[in-house]
Amino acid sequence: MSNLSLVLKHKWYDLIESGEKTSEYREVKPYWDKRLSKHYDTVTFQKGYTKTKLKFKILSISKTVKENDLNLEEVYEIKLGDRLL
């Protein structure tokens, strides 16, 4: 089982933890193109650089054009499934 680890600002972490935010977004850039081209089963979010973490199943990772947190036209959307941790 492969895991994607991401550090989030407290604001976004809290929204995911509360269930208000069900997708995480990343800008389409060479760094994310390479990193997100691999298959991941789960994602672990770390609240800033603390030891506080959440873990979710990943439903899908895809490029999308829609309204998002980053206010960008095209982004990677990481759709979250069931919470594991």
Q: Residue 6 belongs to what H/E stretch? A: strand 3-8
- Take residue 78 and report the two structure tokens written for it: 């990481």
Separation of alpha carbons 75 and 60, rounded Å: 13
Separation of alpha carbons 2 and 38, rounded Å: 9
Separation of alpha carbons 37 and 13, rounded Å: 23
**Residue 73: its pLDDT value, please?**
82
Q: What sign results for the dihedral spanned by CA atoms 23, 28, 32, 34?
A: positive
Is 0.85 surpassed by the pTM of this model?
Answer: yes
41-64 pLDDT, tens per residue?
999 999 999 999 999 999 999 999
Q: What's the mean pLDDT in 65-76?
A: 83
Of residues 42 and 1, more confidence is placed in 42
Domain layout of the chain by residue ranges: 3-83
Pick the CATH number of 3-83 from 3.40.640.10, 3.20.20.70, 3.40.630.30, 2.30.130.30: 2.30.130.30
